[in-house]
A and B are shown apart, each in its own frame.
Chain A
């Protein structure tokens, strides 16, 4: 299976709805997807919809990031008209206010749900607070979509573990040079999880892993990618064209949330809370710079990356604040880094390609 063999978002949503399935649009970043699955609701994540910015401009200042802008554009363009709810995790100031703007003033097509994530360094009270928040969200989902069937949450957690296991296998094979897939294909396939139900996605992912497994001889420089999203798409294509290999990533939408499944034992809410608190350090969760730096160095060491490419969304405060100290620390550890500030779906163009090429040459 190549990425083109994955059902597209619109095809899949059509089929899902055709079968009477319910959908919840979800804004970035971390949220308990298992709760939605338990209610037989499909989370449709909204990271970078390819909308022409038009209507959102009347509501947002030019200094608001393109993730927020594009998400609002999708909503205003009717792209969420068929969903049963819209979920806003508390990720940053911009998403926080967007949630309120949408819920209070923009007459959204579906009820808004909010999910506050506790921020690091997590107080001892964070675990019980998170559990209480999960329970509250569960109740709200029950009111909108009906109660989750007996045992559905446990089953959802099981899907989550299987999925995280497959993601982890994909990452490990890539780092070991045992995956015949460039960055564009790798991320196109793994991003399927942003809209496919695990029942459908797990077999597809397994098949792809099977097919794409082949020993790849290392070519160009080995990179670690950090930032918000893998992309924009032409950035990934540029990396592939230049023969640069992404060995691992520290992306908010990817490894900072996907590789860490809820533990098997105990109460499912407690397990979800534990997995949230154990996720890798992330700017949006307030993790300290020391933790983030140690984590980046560990990822680079373990994956054999020689340098780090930060692909940061313009105006993204959480990421932009962390950058200088991370880069300084990486440099001290002998890991050069490159920063590309991008808008989602933007063509990164020739200048970025030249910078990447020079960066790759410097590392080789």
Chain B
């Protein structure tokens, strides 16, 4: 790491970014505010702070190479370990969501397809590879990684995808292999994962040039735990009627717990978000003005449709109050126990929803339906994501039968809207709305 790069990054952190932000605020102040949609309650005040945090994260990342070791990380990887070595971490999945929301999915996917990547592959991967080949991104510029850190607790796809990056960039790929839980987790699996975490230390020391410090890891893990717990509490506020935010808001507000977990900024953010949500509950302020029906979402967001969907449902007095996806970053954090850091990291990360059997998911969904007083279920069958999607037809059927709630499957994709038929989705949703309104 070079001293001048460090100094430059520090300067940008202390002066460059705040100055840029002040300028942006000034310009924004002059713009006319957008017409408020009467179907929605007042927007979350925190949204501005969230934007600031994420912009800062992407902006400063440009100055990270040379100043800090840079790692690209999968969303379910035990990032606390990287933080202990001071890695600046980037999340290609978060970047994929950003590109999806900005409707850049097809353009970037095509860039990957031109290099031979099949359109049938996960579009987060294609967006990332498309960005890699074309340099295009709505985030300015992403820093080149020194290391790739990947866990297959969400899918095997990330392993295939990161292997391509490792090969192209000729950099180390560290894999945290988390045996899939067909049944209950067992001691053999935990021991295997613990050993792997310990084996990573010399690699991370070598790439970062920093010695491992257990105390530091424990502190970071504590921070990570607080952020995830606070995020869980934010989601729990949606049990209130009316719910103070929608899942469509939560899709956006989960960015810090995914990308900045283990840093004080993520914990601090969720403290203010929680305070705001609690206050809204106390004042009876709902995310939508006329909450008649409460829904649950299964799978990742349809990023290019978040706004349209949120308006479509709000116009009918329907609010999404729960999602298996947003819940994933809060669900297992109770296992993180500083007195057994390695075993507990293994448990926390291997017990996440996508590393568990379908019965686990069904039970979780049943529980959420009860706790959040859910009236209906929308299942996004995401072409990109086989581990999230294979089995959904049966999950939908069973949940609907067992709990007597209407459910619908919409076939779409997370970022690549070339695979989304609006007409077909709307036809299915119309039938769902009718069933829900009749219920």
Q: Write the residues of chain A forming the contact surface with B, with a CB cutoff of 8 angstroms.
A: 58-61, 63-64, 68, 90, 92-94, 96-101, 103-106, 114, 116, 118-121, 123-126, 128-129, 132-133, 136, 283-284, 286, 288-290, 314-315, 317-318, 320-325, 327-328, 341
Contact = CB atoms under 8 A, between A and B. Distances in A.
Given A92-B156, A317-B160, A98 B125 contact: no
A132 B394 contact: no
A324 B163 contact: no
B192 A321 contact: no
Contacts of B332: none
B164 A321 contact: yes
B180 A104 contact: no
Nearest to B419: A63
A239 B130 CA distance: 35
Given A59-B393, A93-B157, A93-B387, 9 more contacts: A64-B390, A96-B387, A97-B390, A99-B182, A104-B357, A129-B188, A132-B188, A286-B159, A327-B116
Interface string B102-144: 0000000000000111101110010000000000000000000
B358 interface: yes
Contact of B156 (A129, A318, A341): A318
Interface residues of B, number: 50
A232 to B, nearest CB: 18
B390 A94 contact: yes
Interface centre among A314, A323, A325, A328 (most CB of B within 10 A): A325
A318 B199 contact: no
Given A97-B358, A116-B179, A317-B386, A124 B160 contact: no
A92 B390 CA distance: 12
A286 B177 CA distance: 10
B163 A64 contact: no
A125 B192 contact: yes
Contact of A103 (B163, B173, B189, B357): B357
Nearest to A321: B160
B157 A317 contact: yes
Contacts of A123: 177, 192, 195-196, 199
Contacts of B164: 289, 321, 324-325
Given A125-B191, A321-B161, A100 B199 contact: no
Given A116-B179, A286-B163, A105 B398 contact: yes
B386 A93 contact: yes
Chain B interface SS verdict (over half)? helix
Contact of A105 (B177, B188, B358): B358
A264 B120 CA distance: 43
- 8 tightest A-B CB contacts, nearest first: A324-B116, A125-B195, A321-B160, A97-B390, A129-B192, A289-B167, A114-B182, A100-B357
A311 to B, nearest CB: 14
B398 A318 contact: no
A317 B120 CA distance: 8
A156 to B, nearest CB: 23
A324 B121 CA distance: 12
A59 B394 contact: yes
Contacts of A120: 175
B47 to A, nearest CB: 34
A327 B116 CA distance: 9
A337 B118 CA distance: 16
Nearest to A319: B160
A119 B393 contact: no
A321 B121 contact: yes
A64 B386 contact: yes
A38 B63 CA distance: 60
B182 A320 contact: no
A97 B392 CA distance: 10
Given A64-B390, A103-B182, A321 B166 contact: no
A188 to B, nearest CB: 29
B309 to A, nearest CB: 20
Nearest to B157: A317
Contacts of A106: 394
B120 A315 contact: yes
B359 interface: yes
Nearest to A284: B156
Contact of A318 (B117, B160, B390): B160
A124 B180 CA distance: 19
Contacts of A97: 358, 386-387, 390-391
A116 B120 CA distance: 25
